[in-house]
Amino acid sequence: MADPGIDIATLTPDQQAALQQYTAVTDQQADQAIPILQRSQWNVNIAVTRFFDGEPTEDPVAAAAAAQEPAPPQDVRRQETLLNGFGGASRSSTSSSGRRVRIEPAPRVVPQPEGQVTTQVPLVLAIFFAPFSLVYSLFAKGFRFLGWIFPFLPRAWGRVTANNINTPASQRSASGRRPLNPRDTAARFIREFEEEYGSHNLPFFESGYAQAFDLAKKNLQFLLVVLISPEHDETAGFIRDTLLAPEVVDFIRNPDNNIILWAGNVHDAEAYQVSSALSCTKFPFTGLIVHTPQVSSTAMGIATRIAGPVAPAQYISKLRAAMQTHTEPLNRVRNQRAEQQATRNIREQQNSAYERSLAADREKARKKKEEAERKAQEEKQALQREQAAERYARDLKQWRRWRASTLAAEPVAAPDKDVVRISLRMPNAERVVRRFESDALIEDLYAFVECYDFLKPREEQEEEEDVDVSNVEKPEGFVHEYKFLLVSPMPREVYDVQTGGTIKERIGRSGNLIVERLHLEEEEEDEDEVDE
């Protein structure tokens, strides 16, 4: 016996894949699925078949291992499927004293369309019809050969026979009923039942027997199977007096009983196959099918059989007695599933909390990384601005020295010379008077103001380096911009450098001008940043 508490982590990748595929099909817990897969040598197909049809009486793998050991007590349950049939002698629900109660297994029947049902021909008939089969085979091969030579013959024959392929007569079975899929068969049964017996409150399952079987196993419900045959005289009386009795209807519809009602007409292929699998010999037939965990974790058994007409009280009594016998095992399985579901929910909640915590940590790490990148970017930009300011200040100083070296010397005042006299009030309130040639440009006046610190007499220069400005070169790539204006106070007039012209043309032979700084606040901020 496999250990149900085996750790999934110890399984191989192939075994884990087989376990995942098996649980996806059967919706069974891992601790219950692993033993079945181990008994099936981890073959998913064999395990699924054992889950739905029940396990064989003697496991081939266990038989070889048990050959060397004393024979264990024989399982009283008879395991059979639809392939090997069900004998009527083993249907007894009780045994002699000293033996346990036998639980007959309930088969899971998947109906086969009537048009696909094949039977084996007896040997005598096969020998008798052998010549005819040979002639037919030769004729068919000859016709195919002609069709290969003359391609139009098969098409012409197909047009002739096409009208008779889908006729209702060709699609009906020997019983005169047209074969349908399980869902449509159930709908047809319900419709015919209502037409025959009128409206009712019976909750018929509107699908196939296999679907009802699987649903009852999954939800731990009782599957009540009712099979009727219109040919039996007792069918109508059973339905009207027993099945449609108010107390029976209330008993079936009671949610506390957990009953799934599936009914069928044995003239239909599915109901006929179900009746054969359940070994029904008398109609109307009622069978109560339920999950039997005392046999195995996947077994479904027949709790009781009711054949023929019975009184409503006796009918309910038999069903209730059988249900009470299996209520306690089902309750244990429900409690186990509830505990497993609670454990699964707790595990999912823990995983969800872990995922949320992990997501929060990732978000914190992302924000921290973005904050570090932002600070690094700001520091980089600040460094670039500082370097640019330092470079600009250095280039501006060099440009002032260069421009100071290019200014013409102040002309000597003489009566015969044409000069211009300009009085300037500097931003520091200093008054400066300077004479210029009459043809000097207005830009020369601006350059004088810009380079005044380098044009002062040597003894008046404050904190200036002793640098010879005569050999200074213009800084390469530097574009100078005057950040002040020369303004005449009364009346106010601005003499901008962009207009151009000479000093004499724009100001006259003399003038009093004020130097007004532009963007004074920005310059102060830039100077503060450079100082810092």
Domain boundaries, the chain: 8-57, 123-158, 182-342, 407-456+474-517
- Local structure of 197: helix, strand or coil: helix
Assess contact for 465 and 439: CB atoms under 8 A: no
Reported as a pLDDT band with limits 50, 70 and 90, residue 480 is confident
Residue 75 has pLDDT above 80, yes or no: no
C-alpha neighbours within 13 Å on the C-beta side of residue 532? 10
* Whole-structure pTM value: 0.47
CB atoms < 10 A from the CB of 514, how many? Answer: 16
Assess contact for 42 and 22: CB atoms under 8 A: no
Residue 162 has pLDDT above 50, yes or no: no
The pLDDT value recorded for residue 31 is 81
**Fold entry, domain 407-456+474-517:** Ubiquitin-like (UB roll) (3.10.20)
CB atoms < 10 A from the CB of 484, how many? Answer: 18
Reported as a pLDDT band with limits 50, 70 and 90, residue 414 is low
Least confident of 95-109, 198-212, 365-379, 444-458: 95-109
Q: What is the mean pLDDT of residues 522-531?
A: 53
Q: What's the token pair of residue 285?
A: 């037939």
Architecture of domain 182-342: 3-Layer(aba) Sandwich (3.40)
Which position has the higher pLDDT, 170 or 290? 290
Reported as a pLDDT band with limits 50, 70 and 90, residue 171 is very low
Long-range contacts of 6-14 (CB under 8 A, 24+ apart): 6/34, 8/34, 14/42
Which amino acid makes up residue 205? F
Q: CA separation (Å) from 287 to 207, 261, 282?
A: 18, 10, 12
pLDDT tens-digit readout, 254-303? 999 999 999 999 999 899 999 999 989 889 999 999 999 988 888 999 99
Q: What is the mean pLDDT of residues 357-385?
A: 93
Q: CA separation (Å) from 235 to 238, 280, 402?
A: 5, 14, 124
Residue 452 has pLDDT above 50, yes or no: yes
pLDDT tens-digit readout, 215-260? 999 999 999 999 999 888 899 999 999 999 999 999 999 999 999 9
Assess contact for 424 and 432: CB atoms under 8 A: yes
Q: What's the token pair of residue 397?
A: 């100083």
pLDDT tens-digit readout, 50-71? 777 666 655 555 554 455 444 4
The pLDDT value recorded for residue 159 is 58
Q: What is the mean pLDDT of residues 185-207?
A: 94
What dihedral do alpha carbons 318, 321, 326, 328 form, nearest 10°? 160
Q: How far apart are CA 455 and CA 447, in angstroms?
A: 11
Q: How far apart are CA 401 and CA 395, in angstroms?
A: 10
C-alpha neighbours within 13 Å on the C-beta side of residue 491? 0
The pLDDT value recorded for residue 199 is 92
Residue 462 has pLDDT above 60, yes or no: no
Reported as a pLDDT band with limits 50, 70 and 90, residue 439 is confident
Q: What is the mean pLDDT of residues 443-465?
A: 72
Total number of residues shown for the chain: 532
Q: What's the token pair of residue 365?
A: 């790490």
The pLDDT value recorded for residue 80 is 39
The pLDDT value recorded for residue 518 is 84
The pLDDT value recorded for residue 168 is 45
Q: What is the mean pLDDT of residues 24-44?
A: 83
Q: CA separation (Å) from 455 to 407, 468, 478?
A: 9, 11, 21
Residue 377 has pLDDT above 90, yes or no: yes
The pLDDT value recorded for residue 76 is 39
Reported as a pLDDT band with limits 50, 70 and 90, residue 118 is very low
- The residues near 333 (Cβ < 8 Å, ≥ 6 apart) are 220, 291, 293
Assess contact for 205 and 262: CB atoms under 8 A: yes
Burial class (CB in 10 A: 0-12, 13-18, 19+), 179: buried
Assess contact for 284 and 235: CB atoms under 8 A: yes
The sign one gets for the Cα dihedral 396, 402, 403, 409 is positive
Reported as a pLDDT band with limits 50, 70 and 90, residue 154 is low
Q: What is the mean pLDDT of residues 21-45?
A: 83
Q: Which helix (H) or strand (E) holds 395?
A: helix 312-406
Q: How far apart are CA 296 and CA 105, in angstroms?
A: 11
The sign one gets for the Cα dihedral 275, 279, 283, 287 is negative
Least confident of 108-117, 180-189, 456-465: 456-465
The pLDDT value recorded for residue 99 is 44
Looking at every residue in the chain, the average pLDDT score rounds to 80
Domain 8-57, CATH number (from 1.10.10, 3.30.2420, 1.20.120, 1.10.8): 1.10.8
Q: Determine how β-strand 222-228 pairs with β-strand 259-265.
A: parallel
Q: What's the token pair of residue 272?
A: 């006929």
Residue 331 sits at the vertex; the CA angle it makes with 77 and 47, to the nearest 5 degrees, is 45
